[in-house]
Amino acid sequence: MEDVRKLVPRRPPEGFLDWAAAVLQGELDTHGFLYEQEWVEDWGLDVILDEYARPRKRKMVRVECSCCGYQELYHYGRGQKGYGFVLPESYTEEEGGTVYEDGNCILCPQCGCQVQIRRRAALRKTGWFAPAEGMAMSACVVGEDHLLVLTGWVIQRRVFAGGGEHLEAIPAEAYVFSAWDCAQLMGWTNAYSGHAGYFIQYTRDWRQPRTWTERWGEEENIFGLSEHLLAGSCLPHCKLDVYMQPRPGARHCPVVWMRLYQAHPNAEGALLHGLPRVLDDLIRAGTRKDRWEKNAGGELELPELDWTQNRPARMFRLNREELRMARGQDWDVLFWDLYRHSKAAGEVLTEQDIVNAFFLGDEHVGQLVGLGPVARSIRYLLRQCGQWEDDYAPEPEDEDPPADGEMPDVQILIDYWDMAGRLGWDLSNERVRFPHNLIAAHDEAAAGTALLEQKGVAGKFRVRRMALRKYAFASGGLLIRPAASQKELTDEGNALRHCVSTYGRRHADGQTAIFFIRKKSSPRSSYYTLELDEKELTVRQNRGLRNCPRTPEVQAFEDLWLSWVRAGAPRDKAGRPVIGADRETVVA
């Protein structure tokens, strides 16, 4: 695209800051709390006892809140970074009190707002600091060609050294759309300082790179976007305003949507008359960080949809009646995949079958396709869950409640079928394929399969251990490492009462990857077992005692580890894992 740098304004539109203050209230609700040292005269009781007494000089700290203007003198205190102040409610003459210093956050004693504490003398160079910032977009039409512009702003709450504050909008990025092309304007650059390291430096002018990658990502707030604005642009039918409407679970990527519409104008029909939630899920999956990091000009191909078709039903590989059913039930990509894959395998699901899959609530329900009758398997699992709830006996009141029990689910059923097939059981027999008690049958099959897995895999385990050790990781109180032998898998399965011992041959052959999650305080004790899909870099399952689900701590650790793995499992020179944009070291 031609040079458009002079067309795009760098000042926010009228009313933008007031709108941003309301929309980003949760992100911009931190204010400033400045303090500086001050000498005051302290008379004490000497003036009462001695008429010739003189006041003593005493070191105090004057504080000021940028939100309400509150000013007061507080007691002086020494902290770890220098001097600070002591709040009156925590001060005692003998013991002092809690010292608050530069960088701490508290609530203002006067107005109750959250404030960040900064020493006034530290602001001499810049004259201000930003305790909070948020991001938002604005839309406008510029030029004779009616180009549509989406400008990304960084909104900072700036607190000045002399007191007071205001909101400042910094133009960070802009995307200029013509009928078929898009240009990116950059308002920032990567900079380096010997003291601060790498940081983002905002520039005074736009720069327009020839090749670019979309970096803005998700955005829920676009100021000025309306149907009337789009009608006056070169893309009057892009339906960006409809795409940005809130939907359950939707995370909007406006730049990606515009690039998708430019490549496939029939995306308008898929959004208006098709399955918008499926479209949202496909865009979110396609823009996953590890996949989207090196995108070319924000272009996204969705091969799951048939872009050669103009009718929404055929675009989603459905017929008219199926699309009507899907829109009536508001399918997301899980149920859409389940239906179309089942149909391709020769089994057409009914409306009630989709309702049953919804009540089952298992995100792995699509794995049933091709392994057995999907509809009947879902009904069977629902009955097994009801049977499990009927058989559950609560612990006495004087004992601790048990951990989450082993609930029948899709993965347990698939594991049972796999183990039964290897043991030579007749799965054509309905009583074998759908046993009366799935958990008991699963445990019986696991015990028999464990004996088969111990033969001839020792050498392959050594090779797999060397290949997977790059994913060893530790953070907080947990660590994760790959399985090293069949004996470890067997011991893990015996300790946690699940069937991981039967995964030995698949792990050794590279069909899957099994990892152990341990507590740092007891690295030899089994805690959780994780299965990783090495191709997609997704977690297939993560089970604890008796197949119990993840705890919040384990879930947070899994998310952190998975983001590190998707980033290429980087390490520093000492071999320690590093994560995040600032290359923060995680000590193992």
pLDDT along the chain (588 residues), means of 10: 92 95 92 94 69 78 93 89 85 69 92 93 91 95 95 96 92 95 94 82 94 92 94 95 91 94 95 95 91 89 93 95 96 95 95 94 92 94 78 52 65 93 91 92 86 71 90 93 90 90 89 95 94 92 88 93 91 85 54
User: What is the rounded distance in angstroms from the CA atom of residue 494 to the CA atom of residue 118?
Assistant: 55
The pLDDT value given to residue 97: 78
Q: Is 363 left (phi over 0), alpha (psi -120 to 50) or beta?
A: alpha
**Amino acid at the residue 13:** P
Residue 262: closest CA among 137, 333, 176: 176
Place of tokens 């200029």: 176
Q: What pTM does this model have?
A: 0.78
Burial of 574 (0-12, 13-18, 19+ CB in 10 A): exposed
The pLDDT value given to residue 80: 85
Q: Which two tokens stand for residue 459?
A: 């050498």
> Is the CB of residue 334 less than 8 Å from the CB of residue 354?
no
The pLDDT value given to residue 585: 54
- Tell me the three state secondary structure of residue 32: strand
Continuous segment of H or E residues that includes residue 335: helix 333-344
Which residues, in sequence order, are CB contacts of 531 under 8 Å at separation 6+? 503, 512, 513, 514, 515, 539, 540, 541, 542
The pLDDT value given to residue 42: 76
The pLDDT value given to residue 47: 62
